[in-house]
Chain A
Amino acid sequence: MAAAPPRSATRNAGPGRHRARRPHDTAANVRAGLVIFLTAFAGLALFRSGDLVSVTYDLPPGESSEAVVSVAETWDGWMRALGTAELGEAIVETVGAFASGEMFAPTDPGEDDGDRPGTNEESAGEDAG
């Protein structure tokens, strides 16, 4: 009877398992790290392309900076056409509404915007006075 392969070998065999076989291979892990970081950059560029444009506006003035700004703006335009930038902005607005309580508060156009919940009205009034 043929001897069964070691359990660890069978566990690590198969597609998607090749990394687990060499967990201490520094070069492979560094390459994996670079792939991970570049993917993260790509993700941010997809959903936060507006931020990319803002960052390029802070670059020191010059021809190369203008070229970078132009590339960033073009990219942002593409992402808006694709809808990813708008999706990101919609999430930001939803979180903002949750944070400010607008999501739960009944809409009352006549309400005074100056009143903050939790303020001591008498003290606030004294301060204002």
Chain B
Amino acid sequence: MLFPTLDFAVFFLAVFALAWALRSKPIARKALLLFASYFFYGYWDWRFCFLLLGASLIAWFAGIALARTSSDTPRRWIVGIAVGLLLVILGFFKYFGFFLDSLGDMFRQLGIERDLPLMVVILPVGISFFTFQAISYVVDVYRDEIEAQRSPLDLLLYVSFFPQLVAGPIVRASDFLPQLRVRPRLTRFMLSYGLVLVVVGLVKKMVVANWLATHLVDDVFLVPDTYDTPTLILAAYGYAVQIYCDFSGYSDIAIGTAALLGYHFRENFRQPYRAASLQEFWRRWHISLSQWLRDYLYKPLGGSRGSHLATYRNLFLTMFLGGLWHGAAYNFVIWGAMHGAALGVERAVRERLTRRPGGSPDAAFKRIAWGPRPWHGHGLVSVLAVLATFHFVTLAWIFFRSENFETALAFLSGLAAMTGSFEAWTPFHLVLVFLPLAFHFTPHDLDLRLGRAIRRWPTAAIALAFAAGLVIIQLIAPPGTAPFIYFQF
């Protein structure tokens, strides 16, 4: 079930009414939300529900086993087996097809003709997201950061809760499970803030991302060698904006719908294209995944505790594996490797600047050297740093978006050719690309401020504004409903 559809609207209206009717019966309310979440997920394919249930039960049993064991070695075995099982499930669905194709290619190159088993593995929607949540729960219990859940209901709901089930944000058990233990409430602010986020998310997804996809990006990335340089530049910018609006739009709707049901999720995007360094970019982009990679991959690899070389290696490996997580394809690997290598170089430059003999680095370089700082008020260097970061990220997106390595190379060749005119830069494209970028330089809590302002309005005014917002979105969005980009991961 996709968010911007009538099916979801009817589904959510029913869930909203029933969940609040069961407010004083916590077990019944959680059971209802669990049923609704499985219904939401099973709407794609009911067989996927067994996978979701399996992953949740692995995490629940592992949590119970960890709670009953105090010695180190058995606890390590338990966490190892549980995480291993979850990764095997994820790996099978994500990489089995690639593995079989590669094996077939290898046999052919060796001159051996073999009939490999024909098996088409359908990738279940959002498998990575619920697997990551299950892994984070098991590891957090192992690290004694949270208590194991006795109630399977709470844990099943945590893993499957429908607003964030298929594309995040990746919610931590320590954030969500305590919310299930208290009586939920819907304040006027939660209501207005939730509605604001739903409208903002729908505008980002249905209007900006869908128009950019159908009217610019998809065509250009299909056959980049038939387009001139200015169109390729516009398409590259367009994709940077499209993926941001698509993904953060989903997160906004997820956080908004959760707020309407009485639950708080943390923000997942924070104006990422205003980042003045890559380190800052990853603190603003898909924050829940960046933090997940930091806590469950980068730190276990050693983080920045070892030598400089070990830190660069860990940074590179984290981003490289993050790229590979998106799919078994060279373009994702190159995307991850580019970010990993650039983060390492950025860190090396930062360390070099801060250790310069003869005092502290220049004030201008400090801002790049010492990570996140506001982009404004720091003169030309900060502006250049923001532009450089944005263009590096956009360049890496070309590999991420291209169907294969050859298409990415054709795109880059076209960019280097410097031919053509700016005829394709229509006012419509310019609005779609540059208006969302301009919003990156507004106050970061604009949606919160809007929510606070709207909560004082009479209900009739909010109702009319919300209805007008939805009608306008429907009227100005392109026809059809495109799936969210991150569903495939």
A-to-B contact residues, CB < 8 Å:
16, 19-20, 23-24, 26-27, 29-30, 32-44, 46-48, 51, 55, 88, 91-92, 95, 98-99, 101, 104, 116-120, 123-124, 127
Which B residues touch A40, using CB under 8 A? 463, 466-467, 470
> With contacts A30-B20, A117-B424 known, is A23 near B464, CB below 8 A?
no
- Among the 9-residue stretches B83-91, B102-110, B220-228, B298-306, the one with 4 or more Cβ atoms under 8 Å from chain A is B220-228
B138 CB–A CB distance under 8 Å:
no
Output the least CB separation between A63 and chain B (Å): 21
> With contacts A39-B463, A51-B474, A99-B215 known, is A118 near B189, CB below 8 A?
no
B230 CB–A CB distance under 8 Å:
yes
Contact of B191 among A32, A95, A116, A124 (CB under 8 A): A32
Which A residues touch B185, using CB under 8 A? 24, 26
> With contacts A23-B455, A26-B20, A99-B215 known, is A91 near B476, CB below 8 A?
yes
New A-B contacts (13) at CB < 8 Å, excluding given A43-B467, A51-B6, A95-B475: A20-B188, A20-B455, A23-B189, A30-B16, A32-B188, A32-B459, A33-B260, A37-B13, A40-B463, A43-B468, A91-B475, A91-B476, A117-B426
Nearest residue (CB) in B for A128 is: B226
Contact of A104 among B215, B427, B459 (CB under 8 A): B427
Q: Are B6 and A55 in contact (CB under 8 A)?
A: yes
Nearest residue (CB) in B for A95 is: B476
Output the least CB separation between B350 and chain A (Å): 40
Q: Are A123 and B470 in contact (CB under 8 A)?
A: no
B471 CB–A CB distance under 8 Å:
yes
Contact flags (1/0) for B178-209 with A, using CB distance below 8 Å? 00000011111111000100000000000000
> With contacts A23-B189, A44-B470 known, is A120 near B211, CB below 8 A?
no
Output the least CB separation between B207 and chain A (Å): 9
Output the least CB separation between B273 and chain A (Å): 24
Enumerate B67-121 residues with CB–CB distance to A below 8 Å: none
Contact flags (1/0) for B9-38 with A, using CB distance below 8 Å? 100110011001001000000000000000
> With contacts A24-B185, A118-B230 known, is A34 near B16, CB below 8 A?
yes
| Interface residue SS majority, chain B | helix
Nearest residue (CB) in A for B234 is: A118
- Some 9 contacts from A to B, beta carbons below 8 A apart, are A20-B188, A24-B185, A30-B16, A30-B20, A36-B195, A36-B463, A37-B16, A104-B426, A123-B225
When chains A and B are docked, how far (Å) is the Cα of A30 from the Cα of B13? 11
> With contacts A98-B428, A118-B227 known, is A42 near B462, CB below 8 A?
no
* B contacts with A, residue count (CB < 8 A): 54
Nearest residue (CB) in B for A24 is: B187
When chains A and B are docked, how far (Å) is the Cα of A104 from the Cα of B460? 39
Contact of A48 among B191, B231, B471, B478 (CB under 8 A): B471
> With contacts A30-B186, A99-B211, A119-B231 known, is A44 near B226, CB below 8 A?
no
Q: Are A34 and B458 in contact (CB under 8 A)?
A: no
Contact of A39 among B6, B231, B464, B475 (CB under 8 A): B464
When chains A and B are docked, how far (Å) is the Cα of A120 from the Cα of B94? 37
Enumerate B462-487 residues with CB–CB distance to A below 8 Å: 462-464, 466-468, 470-471, 474-476, 478
Which A residues touch B467, using CB under 8 A? 36, 39-40, 42-44
Shortest 7 CB-CB contacts between residues of A and residues of B: A118-B424, A118-B231, A43-B467, A39-B463, A23-B188, A30-B20, A32-B459
Nearest residue (CB) in A for B455 is: A23
Which B residues touch A30, using CB under 8 A? 16-17, 20, 186
Output the least CB separation between A51 and chain B (Å): 7
Enumerate B337-389 residues with CB–CB distance to A below 8 Å: none
Which B residues touch A46, using CB under 8 A? 471
Which A residues touch B163, using CB under 8 A? none
Which B residues touch A120, using CB under 8 A? 225-228, 414, 419-420
Which A residues touch B445, using CB under 8 A? none
Q: Are B462 and A101 in contact (CB under 8 A)?
A: no
B266 CB–A CB distance under 8 Å:
no
When chains A and B are docked, how far (Å) is the Cα of A47 from the Cα of B468? 10
When chains A and B are docked, how far (Å) is the Cα of A36 from the Cα of B188? 13
Output the least CB separation between B279 and chain A (Å): 35
Q: Are B459 and A19 in contact (CB under 8 A)?
A: yes
When chains A and B are docked, how far (Å) is the Cα of A41 from the Cα of B6? 9
B456 CB–A CB distance under 8 Å:
yes
Q: Are B458 and A16 in contact (CB under 8 A)?
A: yes
Output the least CB separation between A42 and chain B (Å): 7
Q: Are A19 and B458 in contact (CB under 8 A)?
A: yes
Output the least CB separation between B33 and chain A (Å): 15
Output the least CB separation between B111 and chain A (Å): 35
Output the least CB separation between B355 and chain A (Å): 48
Which B residues touch A19, using CB under 8 A? 188, 458-459
Output the least CB separation between B120 and chain A (Å): 26
Which B residues touch A88, using CB under 8 A? 471, 475
Which A residues touch B475, using CB under 8 A? 47-48, 88, 91-92, 95
